[in-house]
Amino acid sequence: MCGIVGYIGWQEAAPLLLKGLKRLEYRGYDSAGIALLNGTLSVMKQKGSVSGLETASEAFREEMQGATVGIGHTRWATHGEPSDRNAHPHLNSAGDIAVIHNGIVENYSSLKQELLSQGYLFSSDTDSEVLVHLIDRIWKSEPSLDLESVIRSALRHVEGAYGLCVISSREPDKIVVARKGSPLVIGIGIGEFFIASDAAPIVEHTNKVVYLSDGELAVVTKDGYSVKTIENIEQEKMVTELDFSLDKIEKGGFEHFMLKEIFEQPSVMHDVMRGRVRIEEGRVCLGGIEDYLDRLKHAKRIVICACGTSWHAALIGEYLIEEFARIPVEVDYASEFRYRNPIVDVDDVVIVISQSGETADTLAALRTAKEKGALVMGICNVVGSTIARETLCGMYTHAGPEVGVASTKAFTAQVIMLYMLALALSKGRTISQDEIALHLKELSNIPEKVSRTLEQDSQIKSIAERFKDARNFLYLGRGYNFPVALEGALKLKEISYIHAEGYPAAEMKHGPIALIDEDMPVIFIATRDSTYTKILSNIEEVRSRKGRVIAIASEGDQEIARLAEHVIYVPQSSGPITPLLTVIPLQLLAYHIATLRGCNVDRPRNLAKSVTVE
Ligand code: G6P
């Protein structure tokens, strides 16, 4: 949520900042801006995309030329509408301090009143602008302080979350950054340093990075960096090597990142399982949790907390762990868990799932669970993310960077991780080694089955053409396919802005059936499993009310072809594994409907990839 970049070194900063911002646009894209230090401070900012800013910047060639220090921001609005004046960076009235900020200053209103009463004028409606005036006020009252100390002192007045980047023409050889709640990474080059909200804009320049932790402040010059806590205690930081390359964050010939990521799923699935699935030994090897496996197996209860698509993966995880390992599982929205004083104790295990590893609510749920003494385990995609670092143990999904705002490959990677976890928790307790081997064999065949499912892309596109103008959609599934129904509906909502609801198929009778008429497309996920005959009855119920039935069914099922207007077949598989197949046509259907409606699927309106505010 909001992207931050910074550069200090020997190259022209402006093109680097603009390119970096483009890589971060999935974090927010309603306005963008940069500030450059070139003797004085110059700021360019405007509503709209980074490309728009880039075009506008051509008129500022002179100011940009020769500037080797700068910061940039791409915004996801919280306080104040998307507009030129609300875009970051924000300047003090003298125009010698520039601030960009990701997060929310929760006490901004009282700070603003205070600053207004002292004569400060505000030129935006944002919470972030108070930061620059606060810094200005402290510096005026103690002019002998350096920028770093002024910022440290300002932050003592700030409640809320921040990833903060500040430059000033009064100390033009540095960038000061600070973090509480919103991620920041420093990329280490030779005679140059990069700052960003995540590693995406950094990887093409260097693979050496330092992740700031909450409560840390860093001063970055072209010769080095120093990290201290806000309380001024020096910190030793570990340098981490990034393990992904540039091609992973480029479109590679696909029209959109989302489509690329949908089609990447077979190879991602191989990556997720690589080294972990040991069919001959009838076991899975999950290095990140090995030391805690015993405690996990003897958990009184497992609570899984997540948001959005990760929450849907969690629901599938609940079914898998309960079915295989027979440990009671509860799934909670992270945002609800943290605010309802949950009953959690030392015998519980709390699993947090997050693609980004930065979702504010999931992070808060993790911290709540930790405070209550539970063992907290993480399943994250982004290596080195805050959630990954704050959990006691965990597993990376290794899906590679996911750029499209609507999650696709991260979802299937999470489901595979949960499948492997469920098997690891069952070993030696609830299912035999031979049975585990059979499951693993089926799991290892999944990438090929997903590839076959993807081959139906053009058929799915033609279905999308027929239904692209529908105003509502209903997605129905049972058992393992109920969370898939939720995920299918979410995908459609997120990127096409069509209202869609997912329901357990049997629940349809208790309300949604009232919505069904000849204009309502109803997507049934009706693979051949234990609920198959029941779901056929549900299809009949929709048909008799003239609903338009689209079915996702198992290959070879002729019966369903009689009932549904359209059928998309997926290869045969056992119930627990079906979500990995049935979700694929739903991702493609949402993608095609959205593109046919002219929507920007990679950057859907109002959404952000990484939600670092509550
Ligand atoms: C945002 C994204 C979703 C994502 C959710 C949870 O809403 O747009 O795609 O599922 O956050 O994100 P996480 O990174 O925690 O999985």
| Whole-angstrom distance, CA of residue 98 vs CA of residue 168 | 6
User: 303 CB less than 6 Å from ligand 1?
Assistant: no
Phi, psi of 436 (to 5 degrees): -60, -45
Decide: helix, strand or coil at residue 26. Answer: helix
Nearest residue (CA) to ligand 1, atom 7: 308
For residues 386 and 352, is the Cβ–Cβ distance under 8 A? no
Residue 226 one-letter amino acid: S
Q: Using CA of residue 142, residue 143, residue 148, residue 154, what is the dihedral sign?
A: positive
Cα 17 from Cα 7, distance rounded (Å): 7
DSSP 12: -
From CA 400, how far away is CA 432, in angstroms rounded? 33
Distance CA 576, CA 506 (A): 19
Q: What is the pLDDT of residue 303?
A: 98
Burial track 412-450 (b if 16+ CB lie within 10 A, e otherwise): bbbbbbbbbbbbbbbbeeebeeeebbebbeebeebbebb
Which atom of ligand 1 is the closest one to the Cα of 308? 10
CA-CA distance, 203 to 194, in Å (whole number)?
10
Q: Estimate to the nearest angstrom the gap between the alpha carbon of 165 and the chain centroid.
A: 22
pLDDT score, position 181? 84
Tokens (6 digits) for 532: 């198959």
Q: What residues contact residue 559 under an 8 Å CB cut-off, 6+ apart?
A: 536
Q: Which residues contact 492 (CB under 8 A, 6 or more apart)?
A: 473, 475, 498, 500, 586, 589, 590, 593, 594
Extended strands (E) in 387-436: 393-396
Of ligand 1's listed atoms, the one at least distance from the Cα of 407 is 9
Distance CA 359, CA 1 (A): 9
Contact status, residue 156 vs residue 191, Cβ threshold 8 Å:
no
Looking at residue 21, the DSSP 8-state letter turns out to be H
**Catalytic residue IDs:** 2, 609
Quick check: CB of 408 below 6 Å from ligand 1? no
* pLDDT score of 26: 76
Q: Is the pTM of this model over 0.75?
A: yes
The β-bridge relationship of strands 521-526 and 472-477 is: parallel
Each residue of 186-219: pLDDT tens digit? 999 999 999 999 888 999 999 999 999 999 999 9
At 507, list the tokens: 């629940």
d(CA 613, CA 358): 10
Q: Is the CB of 310 under 6 A from ligand 1?
A: yes
Q: Token pair 């349809």 is at which residue?
A: 508
Atom 4 of ligand 1: nearest residue by CA position: 308
Is 386 near ligand 1, meaning CB less than 6 Å away? no
Write the pLDDT tens digit of every residue in 449-484.
999 999 999 999 999 999 999 999 999 999 999 999
d(CA 538, CA 272): 36
Q: What is the pLDDT of residue 248?
A: 75
> 3-state class of 276 per DSSP?
coil
Out of 611, 612, 613, 614, give the residue to mutate to test ligand 1, the one with the largest number of ligand atoms within 8 Å of its CB: 611
**pLDDT in the model for residue 609:** 80
Low-confidence residues in the chain, pLDDT < 70: 1
Q: Looking at ligand 1, which atom is closest to the CA of residue 356?
A: 14
pLDDT of residue 86: 95
Q: Which helix (H) or strand (E) holds 318?
A: helix 308-325
Q: Quote the distance between the C-alpha of residue 455 and its chain's center.
A: 27
